Amino acid sequence: MTLRFAFLTVGLPLLFVAMLPARGEWVSGPRDRNGVPLERGQGAWIVDATINGRVRGRFLLDSGATWCSVSSETAARLRLAQTGRRIDIDTAGGTIRLPFIRLESVGVGDHKARDLQATVHDLPGELGELDGIIGLNFLDHFTWAIDPRRSILRLE
């Protein structure tokens, strides 16, 4: 086998493969229809969300939180009834006992999850005024990723 033939059979295909985007590389354009703008605040991601199709607010995006939560003010604005069930949640400040509620829907961008359990929890003010947390019980409805360079949450 000549060197030229070896390049054509092995090297040229490798060159084309090397030109393709890597698996983890973001390949969509700047107007990604699945992209939801994120705000960076104190080392955390903040996203706009709509609860029950009526109340829009700023929520901490927290993939480490099992449940979504809403502030007591948001729960009052929505007139959400507690289920009577409470749950212990481990936080950085220790374990706290929170009431459970049911949310008809949680919407982020054009994406919506329905009938979610959530807690009522007022977050500390270090991140500014937040209306709650978007947790894993919302995110698990989607394939999702964060593009930190463009501050975008992608949901599919």
Q: Strand, coil or helix: what is 13?
A: helix
Q: How confident is the model at residue 32, as a pLDDT? A: 58
Task: Look at residue 35 in the predicted model and tell me its pLDDT.
Answer: 92
| Beta strands 132-134; 55-61: pairing state | parallel
Segments of the chain with pLDDT less than 70: 1-34
Query: In one letter, which amino acid is 7?
Result: F
Give the pLDDT score at 4: 54
SS3 of residue 71 by DSSP:
coil
Instruction: Establish if 138 belongs to a structural domain.
Output: yes
Q: Within a domain: residue 55?
A: yes
**Does residue 100 lie in a domain region?**
yes
pTM score, whole prediction: 0.77
Q: Is residue 148 part of a domain?
A: yes
pLDDT in tens, 8-31: 454 444 444 444 444 444 454 445
Spatial distance between the Cα atoms of 83 and 87, rounded to a whole number of angstroms = 11
In a domain, 29, yes or no: no
Count up the domains in the chain and report the number. 1
Domain enclosing residue 111, as ranges:
34-155
Q: Is residue 107 part of a domain?
A: yes
User: Would residue 117 be called left, alpha or beta, if left means φ above 0 and alpha means ψ between -120 and 50 degrees?
Assistant: beta
Q: Is residue 85 part of a domain?
A: yes
pLDDT tens digits, 61-77: 999 999 999 999 999 99
- Which segments of 52-148 does DSSP mark as H helices, in order? 72-77, 136-139
What CATH number did the domain enclosing 116 receive?
2.40.70.10
